[in-house]
């Protein structure tokens, strides 16, 4: 039986705040900080061909050092967002993650001349939003408390207040949306990484909009059915083992797909995974949400040997709360799985 679907993520008719929109130096309008659609194939190619047998990449190996990030971010006229995407695919330093995400998600404008005015407007707009918990969001405090106890984060910021205000503002602005517990998990990476509360709200709103659009076009039941087919195709022996042990992979897949693994992964692993996701322009031929099932599969494959030594109850426990993972290996495997499926499709089409 699948997990019950959450209330539909709000589809934004008019954005509550005003994220930046990029213009090229020549002045032509671009979609918000998005680069060309070749980014997905470029990332996949790098992981599939460039890393096999080389072990996990490191920031210094990938050329994504703090100094190189800071050089891009300190540009006086124009932020080179495509370069940030190339760097981000290999992970973003914790100190800079929030700032880089703002450009990758199109919240902050690449044109530095607009930065002061747009930042001021975003802050003012957020201050005017109703952040009072309504009947549906009153439960958020308990969820936040349980989440923070589980991840045990030390922070000088008032995290419970930030969580509550961002989620309440979102639900109050989108009256058709009812609060559900996984909002805390989806909000956490932004509250933890993004310095300004107004910017964290915009990132959270962008994520919710992406999920809403995706699952409006494809129901969660359809997405789970496709995932199970991929699972059977890509890892048939583990699929058979789960059937023998009566492990309900559909239940896990429903949560992992709907909530972008934010409930299952550790926070640090979620942050690293989302670095790679946000490095892919959402308007690419294969956006990160389209590639996400392969990352879920890669996790199962990564833990395959461990699963095969366990019984059903132990497997379910691990699936619900995944241990810390080597995300470089998982990401590499996800792109390899995607490549293998594409090759099979090409081969089948040629028959």
Provide the 10 A C-beta neighbour count for residue 58: 12
Determine the pLDDT at residue 349: 64
Distance CA 133, CA 164 (A): 8
Distance CA 311, CA 244 (A): 10
β partners of residue 346: none
Distance CA 34, CA 30 (A): 7
Determine the pLDDT at residue 283: 79
Cβ pair 194, 203 in contact under 8 A: yes
Cβ pair 185, 211 in contact under 8 A: no
Distance of CA 338 to the CA centre of its chain: 18
Q: Write b or e for each residue in 269-302: b if 16 or more Cβ atoms lie within 10 A of its Cβ, otherwise e.
A: bbbbbbbbbbbbbbebebbbbbbbbbbbbbbbbb
Cβ pair 331, 46 in contact under 8 A: no
Question: What is the end-to-end Cα distance of the chain in Å, rounded?
Answer: 37
**What's the predicted TM-score (pTM) here?**
0.83
Place of tokens 């992964």: 265
Determine the pLDDT at residue 70: 96
Specify the DSSP class assigned to residue 174.
S
Distance CA 327, CA 47 (A): 13
Residue 282 has φ and ψ, to the nearest 5°, of -65, -20
Determine the pLDDT at residue 59: 39
Cβ pair 14, 26 in contact under 8 A: no
* 60 CB burial (10 A radius; 0-12, 13-18, 19+): exposed
Domains of the chain: 126-214 (1.10.8.270)
Low-confidence residues in the chain, pLDDT < 70: 1-63, 349-351
Place of tokens 């300004």: 196
Cβ pair 80, 33 in contact under 8 A: no
β partners of residue 78: 111
* 184 CB burial (10 A radius; 0-12, 13-18, 19+): buried
Determine the pLDDT at residue 26: 33
What residues contact 307, with CB distance under 8 A and at least 6 apart?
A: 238, 241, 242, 300, 315, 318
Determine the pLDDT at residue 286: 82
């Amino acid at each position: 039986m699948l997990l019950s679907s959450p209330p539909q993520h709000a589809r934004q008719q008019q954005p509550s705040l005003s994220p930046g929109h990029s213009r090229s130096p020549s002045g032509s309008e671009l979609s918000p900080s998005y680069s060309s659609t070749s980014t997905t194939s470029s990332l996949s190619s790098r992981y599939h061909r460039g890393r096999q047998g080389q072990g996990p990449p490191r920031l210094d190996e990938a050329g994504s050092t703090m100094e190189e990030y800071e050089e891009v971010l300190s540009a006086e006229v124009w932020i080179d967002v495509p370069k940030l995407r190339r760097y981000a695919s290999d992970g973003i330093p914790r100190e800079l993650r929030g700032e880089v995400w703002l450009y990758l998600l199109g919240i902050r404008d690449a044109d530095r001349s607009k930065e002061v005015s747009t930042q001021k407007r975003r802050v003012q707009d957020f201050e005017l939003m109703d952040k009072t918990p309504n009947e549906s969001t009153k439960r958020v405090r308990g969820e936040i408390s349980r989440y923070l106890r589980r991840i045990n984060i030390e922070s000088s910021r008032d995290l419970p207040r930030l969580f509550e205000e961002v989620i309440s503002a979102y639900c109050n602005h989108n009256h058709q949306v009812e609060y559900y517990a996984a909002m805390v998990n989806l909000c956490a990476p932004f509250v933890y990484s993004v310095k300004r509360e107004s910017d964290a709200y915009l990132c959270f709103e962008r994520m919710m909009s992406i999920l809403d659009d995706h699952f409006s076009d494809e129901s969660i039941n359809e997405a789970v059915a496709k995932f199970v087919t991929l699972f059977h195709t890509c890892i048939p022996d583990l699929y058979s083992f789960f059937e023998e042990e009566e492990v309900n992979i559909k239940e896990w897949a429903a949560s992992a797909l709907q909530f972008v693994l934010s409930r299952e992964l550790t926070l640090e692993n979620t942050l690293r995974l989302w670095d790679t996701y946000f490095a892919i322009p959402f308007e690419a031929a294969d956006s990160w949400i389209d590639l996400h099932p392969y990352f879920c599969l890669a996790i199962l494959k990564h833990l395959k040997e461990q699963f095969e030594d366990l019984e059903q109850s132990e497997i379910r426990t691990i699936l619900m709360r995944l241990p810390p993972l080597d995300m470089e290996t998982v990401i590499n495997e996800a792109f390899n799985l995607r490549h293998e499926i594409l090759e099979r499709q090409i081969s089948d089409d040629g028959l």
